[in-house]
Structure 1
Amino acid sequence: MINQVEIQNFRGMKYCKLEDLSQINILVGRNNSGKSTILEAIYFISSLEEQYDRIRKINKIDYLTRRRLEGKTWENLRNIILIAKSDNLITLSSMNMDIFSQFFYNFSRNEKIVFNVSENNYTYSIEVSYKDENQIVLKTNKSLNNDLSELFKNTVLIDDDLSLPQLYDIIGELKMNKRKDKEIVRLLKEEFEVDAEGIEFSRYLGDYVLSLTLKDTSIPVDFLGDGAKLAILISSILLYFNGKGIALMEEPEVHEHPGGIYTVLNFAFKIAKEKGIQFFITTHSSDVINYSLKIAKKLGLKTQLVYLRRVNGRVNSVNLTEDNVSLLEEIGMDLRAIDAL
Structure 2
Amino acid sequence: MLESLNIENYRCFPSFKLEKFGRVNLLVGKNNSGKTSILECVDFLLDFNTLKSLGEAMILRGEFFSIENVLEANDSQDRKIELDISSLFNQHTFVKNNQISIDGYDHNKEKFERNIKIFEYEKNKEQKDFMEISLKTSVESQDSISLVISARKGIDAAKFFSSNHNGSYELNKKLSLPVDFLRSASLRFQDMLELYDDIILTDEEKIVLEALQCIEPEILQIAPLLSDTFKNSNINAGFVARVKNNPKRVSIGSFGDGIWRMLGIALKLVNVKNGILLVDEIDTGLHYSVMYDMWKLILKTAEKLDIQVFATTHNSDCWKSLAEVAQDEEIGENDVTIHRIEKGATSSVMLNVPQMAIAAKRDLEVR
Q: TM-score, normalised by structure 2?
A: 0.71
Report the counterpart of residue 237 of structure 1 in structure 2.
268
- 1:1-341 matched pairs, under 5 angstroms: 1-47=1-47, 49-51=48-50, 59-69=52-62, 73=66, 75=70, 79=77, 99-105=84-90, 106-120=93-107, 121-132=109-120, 133-141=129-137, 142-143=139-140, 152-163=176-187, 165-174=189-198, 176=200, 178=202, 180-189=204-213, 192-201=216-225, 209-214=238-243, 216-241=247-272, 243-299=273-329, 300=331, 302-311=335-344, 315-336=346-367
Question: Separation in 2 of the partners of 1:329 and 1:170?
Answer: 39
Which secondary structure state, in structure 2, belongs to the residue aligned with residue 129 of structure 1? strand
Shift of 1:30: 2.0
Asked whether the 8 Å contact 2:33–2:343 carries over to 1, the reply is yes
Which secondary structure state, in structure 1, belongs to the residue aligned with residue 26 of structure 2? strand
Shift of 1:202: 6.4
Task: Report Cα offsets for 1:28-65 as digits up to 9, x if no partner.
Answer: 22222221110111122234x1358xxxxxx3222111
Shift of 1:17: 0.7
Which secondary structure state, in structure 2, belongs to the residue aligned with residue 293 of structure 1? helix
Which secondary structure state, in structure 2, belongs to the residue aligned with residue 304 of structure 1? strand
Question: Separation in 1 of the partners of 2:268 and 2:7?
Answer: 27
Partner AA of 2:266 in structure 1 = S
Partner AA of 1:160 in structure 2 = S
Question: Separation in 1 of the partners of 2:199 and 2:100?
Answer: 43
Shift of 1:182: 3.9
Worse-superposed segment, 187-196 or 27-36: 187-196
Report the counterpart of residue 166 of structure 2 in structure 1.
none
Shift of 1:230: 2.1
Worse-superposed segment, 20-29 or 291-300: 291-300
Change (3 A) 1:80 1:209: closer
Q: In proportion to residue count, which structure has more helix?
A: 1
Change (3 A) 1:176 1:101: same
Question: Separation in 2 of the partners of 1:191 and 1:151?
Answer: 38
Question: Separation in 2 of the partners of 1:264 and 1:24?
Answer: 13
Asked whether the 8 Å contact 1:227–1:261 carries over to 2, the reply is no
Question: Separation in 1 of the partners of 2:221 and 2:208?
Answer: 10
Question: Separation in 2 of the partners of 1:229 and 1:271?
Answer: 19
Shift of 1:172: 4.5
Shift of 1:205: 9.7
Which secondary structure state, in structure 2, belongs to the residue aligned with residue 306 of structure 1? strand
Stretches of structure 1 lacking an aligned partner (at least 5 in a row): 53-58, 82-94, 337-341
Shift of 1:181: 2.9
Cα RMSD (Å) of the superposition? Answer: 3.6
Change (3 A) 1:221 1:202: farther
Partner AA of 1:288 in structure 2 = C
Q: TM-score, normalised by structure 1?
A: 0.76
Question: Separation in 2 of the partners of 1:149 and 1:20?
Answer: 25
Which secondary structure state, in structure 1, belongs to the residue aligned with residue 113 of structure 2? strand
Asked whether the 8 Å contact 2:27–2:35 carries over to 1, the reply is yes
Task: Report Cα offsets for 1:92-147 as digits up to 9, x if no partner.
Answer: xxx96x72212222232243421111102111122333444133242514449xxx
